[in-house]
């Protein structure tokens, strides 16, 4: 399947969000039905709580990519 990434990147945030949700909804139910291990759920809950307590401690993804991914 061909698509033009540069065109997709020009979509508004709302259009990107809608497209992302549509793509996620299209994923096979078998994949979506897999259970998340308890340890992973606990880790997610812990990180969400940390974000609620201090949301300014997180770096935007663009900064993380620039600093750590080359």
**Which pLDDT tens digit goes with each residue over 18-35?**
999 888 888 876 676 678
**Which pLDDT tens digit goes with each residue over 22-69?**
888 888 766 766 788 899 999 999 989 988 888 787 788 898 888 888
CB count in 10 Å sphere of residue 38 = 8
In the DSSP assignment, the letter for residue 55 is G
In the chain, domain spans: 5-68
Residue 70 has pLDDT above 80, yes or no: no
């Amino acid at each position: 399947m061909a698509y033009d990434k540069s065109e997709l990147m020009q979509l508004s945030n709302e259009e990107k969000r809608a497209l992302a949700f549509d793509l996620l909804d299209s994923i096979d139910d078998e994949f979506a039905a897999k259970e998340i291990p308890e340890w992973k759920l606990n880790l997610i809950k812990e990180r969400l709580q940390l974000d609620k307590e201090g949301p300014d401690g997180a770096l935007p993804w663009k900064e993380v990519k620039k600093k750590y991914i080359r």
